[in-house]
């Protein structure tokens, strides 16, 4: 596309933030009403700003890609932005938006489960719309599971931090404190992934002594798997009849995970390494009657601890600097592998990177920074993260249904900054529509 075509395409988007708002009103019309219905934990006699306003500003902080709370206060409290934000949120404001200290005081009291419920309501409504049914695999929704780190440093920001000890038992011993979260995102196709359940990996005090005697890798596996068990209960309770295929990495190749999937009637496609479950790897190699289709080979019904496990290998050929390179990918699944679906299962299994690329990477590097601790308070930190999930998904929809559909090309790093700039544009009556 030439420069003239690029300018013509960008001219179609008269106002980025209003285009983003239109997408939000189309797909999540009740968003601000839902913010207003969340239980307000503050003493009602001392409230200046409603919960709708408090959460609305944090939502737009994420839309604008603003990292720090101080920057939010500095950049948003301009007369035209305050006026526009009041219109966007459908609230009355007297010249100012809430100060960042007021916001954090509120988020320190807010129950994160309420925001989690709001996120799941968004997912439920999107599923009911049937707009994204083509993203399903064999009639089931793909849910990608992965963990990420939100904080790492030598300061223990709250009592729920996990710990890593280095040079243990020596005078040079140091401790690294970190905050991790296990995330489940539902795949809606076209590079769209939306949070469906978040489970924070925390030190509840009971395991602290046990963790000190574990290796770093063992500690990581123990905590993530325990978080997955908690997450599975919440996910099943929130979506008891949703047909699901879980996409997971090799960490989850284990009998307890298979037991949970069987109990919940979930399918799974798990990235497999030979060292994950040696018995399955040996059985696969010992069975000569493998099935083949294109670059894939597979075996069904390997008996393992009361489960019928199917293993699939896929060999991908690429050319790098004139040399042919073959990379082998492996998965185990409870879905019966056939000549007709083997390649599709392999393609679906590789979608797990979506949560890394479209989910965590963009939230850390392109559209904000979820690793920036906007608060050290345990509840506030969780609430900031959950609000970022809402903002980020709205921006994904904006990018897909506005930028991509109109043929507008923008660098990822410029999307948030151009949205922020448009907050201060004078809006006409036709531009403004509230929820």
> In terms of pTM, does the model score above 0.85?
yes
Q: Report how far residue 152's alpha carbon sits from residue 178's, in angstroms, rounded to the nearest whole number.
A: 4
Query: Average pLDDT of 136-156?
Result: 92
| 113 contacts: CB under 8 Å, gap ≥ 6 | none
> What is the assigned CATH class of domain 112-364?
alpha beta
Reply yes or no on whether the pLDDT at 110 is more than 80: yes
pLDDT of residue 168: 78
Query: Average pLDDT of 173-189?
Result: 91
For 110, the 3-state DSSP assignment is coil
Taking residue 281's Cβ as centre, other Cβ atoms within 10 Å add up to: 18
Q: Report how far residue 307's alpha carbon sits from residue 94's, in angstroms, rounded to the nearest whole number.
A: 63
- Residue 320 and residue 295 in contact, taking contact as beta carbons nearer than 8 Å: no
What residue ranges do the domains of the chain occupy?
A: 3-110+376-422, 112-364
Q: Report how far residue 122's alpha carbon sits from residue 126's, in angstroms, rounded to the nearest whole number.
A: 6
Tokens of 160: 């729920």
Reply yes or no on whether the pLDDT at 428 is more than 50: yes
User: Alpha carbon of 102 to those of 38, 83, 97, 126, 232: distances in Å?
Assistant: 17, 20, 10, 32, 35
DSSP letters spanning 69-81: HHHHHHHH-SHHH
Query: Average pLDDT of 31-57?
Result: 94
Q: Which of 145-154, 210-219, 372-381 is predicted with the least confidence, judged by mean pLDDT?
A: 210-219
Query: Average pLDDT of 64-93?
Result: 94
Which residue, 314, 304, 299, 197, is CA-closest to 253?
Answer: 304
Exposed e or buried b per residue across 246-279, where buried means at least 16 C-beta atoms within 10 angstroms of its C-beta: bbbbbbbbbeebbebbeebebbbbbbbeeebbee
Torsion from C-alpha of 45, 46, 49, 54, nearest 10 degrees:
-110
Classify residue 44 by burial, with Cβ atoms within 10 Å: 0-12, 13-18, 19+.
Answer: exposed
Pairing of strands 174-187, 162-166: antiparallel
Name the band, by pLDDT with cuts 50, 70 and 90, for residue 206: low
Taking residue 322's Cβ as centre, other Cβ atoms within 10 Å add up to: 5
Q: Which of 54-63, 162-171, 205-214, 419-428 is predicted with the least confidence, judged by mean pLDDT?
A: 205-214
Tally the residues of the chain: 435
Which residue, 232, 251, 157, 248, is CA-closest to 202?
Answer: 157
pLDDT of residue 100: 95
Name the band, by pLDDT with cuts 50, 70 and 90, for residue 222: very low
């Amino acid at each position: 596309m030439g420069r003239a075509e690029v300018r013509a395409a960008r001219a179609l988007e008269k106002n980025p933030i209003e285009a983003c708002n239109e997408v939000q009103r189309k797909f999540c019309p009740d968003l601000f009403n839902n913010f207003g219905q969340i239980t307000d934990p503050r003493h009602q006699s001392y409230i200046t700003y409603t919960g709708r306003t408090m959460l609305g500003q944090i939502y737009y902080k994420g839309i604008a890609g603003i990292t720090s709370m101080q920057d939010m206060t500095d950049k948003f409290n301009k007369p035209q932005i305050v006026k526009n934000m009041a219109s966007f949120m459908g609230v009355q404001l007297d010249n100012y938006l809430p100060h960042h200290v007021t916001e954090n005081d509120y988020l320190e009291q807010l129950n994160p489960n309420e925001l989690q419920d709001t996120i799941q309501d968004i997912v439920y409504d999107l599923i009911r719309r049937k707009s994204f049914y083509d993203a399903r695999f064999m009639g089931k929704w793909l849910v990608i599971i992965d963990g990420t780190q939100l904080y790492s440093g030598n300061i223990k920001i709250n009592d729920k931090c996990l710990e890593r000890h280095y040079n243990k038992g020596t005078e040079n011993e140091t401790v690294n404190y970190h905050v991790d979260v296990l995330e489940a995102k539902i795949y809606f196709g076209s590079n769209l992934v939306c949070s469906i359940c978040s489970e924070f990996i925390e030190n509840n005090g009971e395991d602290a002594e046990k963790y000190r005697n574990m290796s770093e890798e063992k500690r990581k596996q123990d905590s993530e798997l325990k978080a997955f068990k908690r997450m599975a209960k919440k996910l099943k309770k929130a979506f008891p009849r949703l047909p699901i295929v879980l996409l997971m990495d090799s960490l989850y190749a284990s009998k307890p995970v298979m037991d949970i999937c069987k109990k919940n009637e979930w399918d799974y496609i798990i990235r497999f390494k030979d060292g994950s479950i040696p018995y399955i790897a040996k059985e696969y190699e010992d069975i000569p009657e493998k099935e083949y289709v294109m670059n894939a080979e597979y075996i069904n019904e390997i008996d393992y601890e009361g489960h019928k496990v199917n293993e699939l290998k896929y060999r991908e050929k690429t050319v790098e600097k004139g040399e042919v390179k073959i990379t082998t990918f492996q998965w185990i699944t409870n879905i019966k592998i056939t000549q007709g679906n083997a390649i599709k299962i392999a393609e679906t299994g590789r979608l797990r990177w979506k949560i890394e690329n479209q989910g965590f990477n963009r939230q850390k590097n392109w559209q904000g920074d979820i690793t920036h601790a906007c608060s050290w308070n345990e509840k506030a930190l969780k609430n900031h993260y959950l609000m970022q999930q809402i903002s980020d998904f709205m921006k994904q929809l904006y990018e897909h249904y506005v930028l991509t559909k109109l043929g507008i090309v923008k660098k990822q790093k410029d999307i948030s900054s151009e949205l922020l700039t448009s907050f201060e544009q004078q809006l006409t009556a036709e531009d403004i529509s509230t929820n």
